[in-house]
């Protein structure tokens, strides 16, 4: 029997202040431990989707279930505790005078005992490589450091599902690489990860599922290979083809790949196939 999804959306629509719908009839299941890249042009509804599944916004129509529980106004806090969001602009999240207080804020709000708060903060500081930064004011940190603090904020809340809204948009290559290591660690801890991004190369190598939004609707939902193979769809959703995917297709056409059908996701995997 298939495991119950951690999140289930049934025919979810959402409109801001009675305007035109930003999400239209979205139905999908998300299973624990999935690594999902959420793609689509600006204004497609990706952020609105995230804000609905973390309970900041509530659907205008349709239902969201979290761990089998239909979300209503009464149990909305369960969804907010279970699904954490890391906003694109880390500054939006920083409110405390020091990194330590900043990270403590979430677990203190959960009304956890003092020792538990301390231990969660220590764990998040260690996890995000922030030792030595604890007493510094978050506002004077670099962009990459702020991003690490904003992720530590959410790690200290220990949600099941992490939503990252365009996390690499403001990061230099070294910080973006470090972020991928953090994603791997969270994944090893069986966390469910959804990342909205315009970086198709990242989506192709990292995700095991890609969901494409267009005009508030789910336009495609499948493995990176299945989604990026649909050229018409990619054109329509302004998605470029991932570089490695293009190289592999070219090598296949020229019969230069020994094992057809095995699609490498990284340069190392490609090298192994060419050997
Ligand atoms: P994406 O994250 O894919 O760029 P959004 O979810 O931000 O897309 O936006 C989807 C639609 O909702 C767009 O038409 C956008 O203009 C509209 N929208 C987003 N936020 C608001 C808001 N706070 N008030 C009114 N309309 C909004």
pLDDT tens digits along 152-167 = 999 999 999 999 999 9
Cα of 200 vs centre of ligand 1, distance in Å, is 21
Three-state SS string over 116-159 comes to: HHHHHHHHHHHHCCCCCCCCCCHHHCCHHHHHHHHHHHHHCCCC
The tokens of 165 are what? 């809204």
Cβ of 54 less than 6 Å from ligand 1:
no
- Whether residue 199 is found in the same domain as residue 274: no
Q: Domain check: are 83 and 197 in the same one?
A: yes
Q: Is the pLDDT of residue 1 over 60?
A: no
Residue 214: give the domain boundaries. Answer: 33-51+77-227
pLDDT band for position 261 (cuts 50, 70, 90):
low
Residue 22, ligand 1, Cβ within 6 A? yes
**252 and 204 in one domain?**
no
pLDDT at 251: 85
What are the residues facing 165 on neighbouring strands? 196
Considering the domain architecture, whether residues 119 and 92 belong to the same structural domain is answered as: yes
Whether the per-residue pLDDT at 260 is higher than 70: the answer is: no
pTM: 0.94
Query: Which of 12, 13, 16 to mutate for ligand 1's pocket (most ligand atoms within 8 Å of CB)?
Result: 16
Q: Which residues of 42-59 are buried (b: 16+ CB within 10 A; e: fewer)?
A: eebbbbbbbbbbbbebeb
- Domain check: are 207 and 275 in the same one? no
**Mutation test of ligand 1: which of 17, 19, 22 has the most ligand atoms closer than 8 Å to its C-beta?**
22
163 CB less than 6 Å from ligand 1? no
Consecutive H or E run containing 105: helix 99-109
Same domain, 43 and 128: yes
């Amino acid at each position: 029997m298939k495991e119950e999804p951690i999140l289930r959306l049934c025919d979810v629509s959402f409109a801001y202040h009675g305007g035109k719908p930003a999400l239209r009839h979205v139905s999908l299941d998300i299973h624990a431990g999935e690594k999902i890249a959420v793609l689509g042009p600006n204004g497609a509804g990706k952020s609105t989707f995230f804000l609905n599944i973390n309970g900041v916004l509530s659907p205008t129509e349709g239902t969201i279930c979290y761990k089998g529980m239909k979300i209503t106004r009464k149990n909305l806090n369960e969804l907010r505790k279970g699904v954490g969001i890391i906003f694109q602009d880390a500054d939006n999240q920083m409110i405390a005078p020091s990194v330590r207080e900043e990270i403590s804020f979430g677990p203190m709000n959960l009304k956890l005992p003092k020792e538990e708060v301390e231990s969660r903060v220590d764990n998040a500081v260690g996890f995000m490589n922030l030792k030595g930064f604890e007493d510094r004011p978050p506002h004077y940190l670099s962009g990459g450091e702020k991003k690490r603090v904003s992720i530590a904020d959410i790690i200290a809340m220990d949600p099941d599902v992490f939503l990252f809204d365009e996390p690499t948009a403001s990061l230099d290559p070294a910080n973006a690489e470090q972020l991928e290591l953090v994603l791997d660690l969270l994944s090893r801890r069986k966390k469910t990860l959804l990342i909205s991004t315009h970086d198709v190369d990242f989506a192709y190598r990292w995700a095991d599922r890609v969901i494409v939004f267009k005009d508030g609707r789910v336009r495609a939902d499948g493995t990176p290979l299945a989604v990026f193979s649909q050229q018409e769809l990619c054109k329509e959703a302004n998605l470029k083809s991932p570089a490695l995917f293009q190289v592999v297709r070219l090598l296949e056409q020229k019969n230069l790949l020994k094992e057809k059908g095995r699609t490498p996701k990284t340069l190392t995997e490609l090298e192994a196939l060419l050997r």
